[in-house]
Amino acid sequence: MPKLSLAQDIAQRLAAAIDLRGVAVLCVSGGKSPIALFEALRVQPIDWSQVRVTLTDERCVPCTHPDSNASLVRQHLLQDRASAAQFVPLVAEEHEPLPPHAILAQTASRALQAAGRVDVMVLGMGADGHTASLFPQAPNLTDALDMNNPEACVAIELPEPPANAPYARVTQTLVQILRARHIVLPLSGADKLATLRLAQAGISHQYPISHVLHQTQTPVALWLNE
């Protein structure tokens, strides 16, 4: 997948939103996969001062923590031209102790509402089929995927969190994800492409990304590196 082409596509959509509404909202995922995209996007010649950047999900750590998605976005996206953008973190606290996870989710919901409707959402997908922090093993996954759920964010506490990120999460619900005007899903790697094929076969809680793929509310553009 040519990262530059995707960065240009996203930038064009953000510029069009600014022309139409005076502001654009970009929502991105964390993890290492989007770093190259972030570094290509941050130099795109658009009016970044009119762009709000937020996240699909966040780990329940202070926003200054090196394992936070906020730190990743500040380091790799909010640089160069994109340093003029307004960042809307889901967890704004800078120090421990943090409020209870349910309170963090409520605060994240309010932050998303204040940011406004997302123009471009950059989703990711793990080899297990999760997207944002909608993990197949999450005890409250059914609630998070419920299209009647009124919440924009929920707390996710995994029974066996990844060893490299052993944190509870706050994540956008499916209904909030699908409020975006446009979704892009960049994927590469044989393991993820194999999971994608399984998810494309039908809706299953085993592959939460399938709920995004099998809907007609929001356009989803796949950017694949075969």
* Per-residue pLDDT at 3: 72
Q: How confident is the model at residue 161 (pLDDT cuts 50, 70, 90)?
A: confident
- Give the model's pLDDT for residue 4: 79
User: Does CATH place domain 3-225 in 3.40.50.1360?
Assistant: yes
Helix (H, G, I), strand (E, B) or coil at 56: coil
Q: Please tell me the least confidently modeled range out of 30-34, 52-56, 112-116, 180-184.
A: 30-34
Q: What is the average per-residue pLDDT within 17-44?
A: 96
User: pLDDT tens-digit profile of 114-147?
Assistant: 999 999 999 999 999 999 999 999 999 999 999 9
Q: What's the pLDDT band for 8 if we cut at 50, 70, 90?
A: very high
Tokens read off for 189: 């790697």
Residue 27 has pLDDT above 60, yes or no: yes
Domain limits, the chain: 3-225
Instruction: Catalogue the E-assigned strands of the chain.
Output: 24-28, 51-55, 57-59, 86-87, 120-122, 153-156, 169-172, 183-188, 220-225
Q: Around Cβ 97, how many Cβ atoms within 10 Å?
A: 7
Give pTM, 2 decimals: 0.97
The answer on pLDDT for 226 being more than 80 is no
Q: What is the pLDDT of residue 1?
A: 44
Is there a contact between 30 and 58 (Cβ–Cβ < 8 Å)?
yes
